[in-house]
Amino acid sequence: MPPSESQPLARLPVLLAVSCLGTGGALLAGRALLGLRPTLTPDWSTSRLERVWRWSPDPLRRREAALLLAGREEGEGRLAGQGWGPDPLAAVVLKQSALRRAAREGRPAALPLWRQLLRRFPGEAASADALYALGRDQLGARQALLRRFPAHPAALAAALDASAGEPPPHANTLHLARWGPRWPGATEAISALCAEGSLRPASAAQLARGLAEAGDGGGALRCLGQPSPEPARVAALDDASRLVVARALLKGGPEQRRLAAAWLADLVRQRPRAPEAEEAVRLLSEREEPDAVALLNTLPPRWRDSAPARARLASADPSGRAALEVLRRWPRDPASRDLQWEQTRRLLLAGQWEAALATLEALPPELLPPALAARHRFWLGYVQRQLGQEDAAILTWKRLLLHHPGGYYGWRASRRLGLEDLALRRDAKTPANPPPEPPWQPLDSGDAALDALWRLGQPTEAWEAWRVRRGGQPPTTSADLLVEGRLRQAVGDDWTGLAQLERAALRLSPDQCALLPELERSLHPRRHLEAFAPEAQRQGLALPLLLGVAKQESRFTPAVQSSAGAVGLLQLMPATAAELAGAPLTTADLQDPRRNASLGARYLRGLLDQWNGDPLAAVASYNAGPGAVQGWTTPDRQAVPELWVEAIPYPETRLYVKKVLGNAWSYQRERRPAC
């Protein structure tokens, strides 16, 4: 072969290698560029999402844009024709398409879509809605729903809706007691079944636990037998159920508390190594009854020498030496934290600064949850100042503001340092329009599918998927409480969501500081601004103050009604509201956010005027009444306001004042804590 013909063949492998490398490099570069594109979130404008939906070369981004757009507009056009394939998000799309078709054309027209959803995605949470829709005509579908997705809201709704004649007897009510006793209407159904009286012990025990989980200790006791609990029904309670029922009974009257204490003590004596024994000892140690210490002394030795029991015994030692021993021996136990504050508060009110300093130093703030560390640092700084350690006090308060700038103690530290104060009146320079909503934040649940639903503007789907994954089990860790609290907020349940977030804050360990900024943001949502903002302006009140009262009074839940009869966002008593309005008002009137905000703002403004702008006395009066607060008036309210608050004889009002004004400060400052 001539040399001129062999040279190109010799170069062919090199050319192929270069070509392959170039193509691979181009693909990698293209993938890297795709990875640099911003992630689609609910913060994106409609026009920006429209451009992605129409022009993006990436089918995944087009699908995500379509899903975000579908949540803002009626119609299926953007969801159709996207080639969803086996993507789990296709289950959500099919569900939404079925719901829209049913609303537009009637329920029968949507049945093919429900069947398709169930066939293609039988394990996805959205299929529970398909079983619910099909179960209206098919008993088998309804039973499959209860079996496969027992904790899903669709299953709870189906159990509540089902007729009493379906086999097996009472199965639907028992399902509610097991998987959703707090579901609207569940407690009424459970109580009605309990009243029948012909229940097997195991069923009665399950119903009793359900009512106890819903907070109805008296109802739980009635399930176990009247006029006194039946031994067979009580014996049917397992350890976990007995703990739940006892916890509810401890909030009842003297007889219920006595019975709960006896059950808890028996649990600890009979099964001292059971997982529930520790919590039972903690509950017994928190009792204030005169026999509390004697009952603790009847427990097995390992529990008599536990942190909760020793802390309860130490609280009765006036010398404080027993308390210091507990703090040093069990520095990380929750009982030690409670004991430290109980002892510190007693010493502060007595002016025993040296002893207070020793108690505070026995358990440093680095071992406490952030919310309790803020309290610790404030009073440590206060005691240091009283002892002439001015530089140390200033440093302590500055650390407080760095790590926990919000809340009541952040406000008091700022005041003590001569910095910003809490605004009570509306500044003339304050804009009349309410502040904008905070930016969207990722869920960070650790579950990629759940986080994707949240990111794509599907909070209801995320909430339902979360319930299915957890099997209805309540969250216990601070991280899970944060996730579930945010999910509940997103579906409109601020009442439960904010309570869970408060629990998360108290359970947050020092090494979980990274969760604190999102926890603080979620703890202070701005709800019903269309009602509060104009009333704050009309009454000359700072909007953060009004929001702080509403958050503590109702957790921004308009329909809530207290056992004393207070109603609505600002929990107005009907008589007070009628006096303010000049005419009687119905419950429905007081549940209207605008009406309630108007009357509540006027009442709060009147209290501030009555107390010459003193926020502590005004807020205390909102809770306990001006007459009671008048009886607590001492020179300390102006000279040492923090000690005046700690001396309030009503524990509820003492906590209320700190919570409301801490809320208001957090709304005003909006600074996130630093690790």
Tokens of residue 85, six digits: 């394939």
Q: How far apart are CA 303 and CA 280, in angstroms?
A: 10
Using an 8 Å Cβ cutoff, are 544 and 668 in contact? yes
Q: What sign does the dihedral 576-578-584-588 (CA atoms) show?
A: negative
Residue 567 pairs with which residues in a beta bridge? 561, 572
Question: How many CB atoms lie under 10 A from the CB of residue 16?
Answer: 10
Identified catalytic residue from 276, 461, 520, 553: 553
Residues 6+ apart with CB under 8 A from 336: 307, 311, 326, 327, 330, 363
Backbone angle region of 418, left / alpha / beta, with phi > 0 → left and psi within -120 to 50 → alpha: left
Q: How far apart are CA 69 and CA 10, in angstroms?
A: 57
CA angle 463, 464, 469 (to 5 degrees): 100
The helix/strand/coil state of 656 is helix
Respond yes or no: is residue 553 known to be catalytic: yes
Q: What amino acid is encoded at 413 in this protein?
A: A
Distances (CA, A) of 561 to 63, 517, 518: 44, 31, 29
Question: How many CB atoms lie under 10 A from the CB of residue 613?
Answer: 11
For helices 448-455 and 89-105, what crossing angle results, to 10°? 40
Residues 6+ apart with CB under 8 A from 610: 618, 621, 626
Q: How far apart are CA 312 and CA 290, in angstroms?
A: 12
The DSSP line for 104-154 is HH-HHHHHHHHHHHHHH-TTSTHHHHHHHHHTTT-HHHHHHHHHHSTTSHH
Q: What amino acid is encoded at 420 in this protein?
A: E
Residue 572 pairs with which residues in a beta bridge? 567
Map tokens 């009952």 to a residue: 295
Using an 8 Å Cβ cutoff, are 548 and 660 in contact? yes
- The residues carrying an active-site annotation are 553
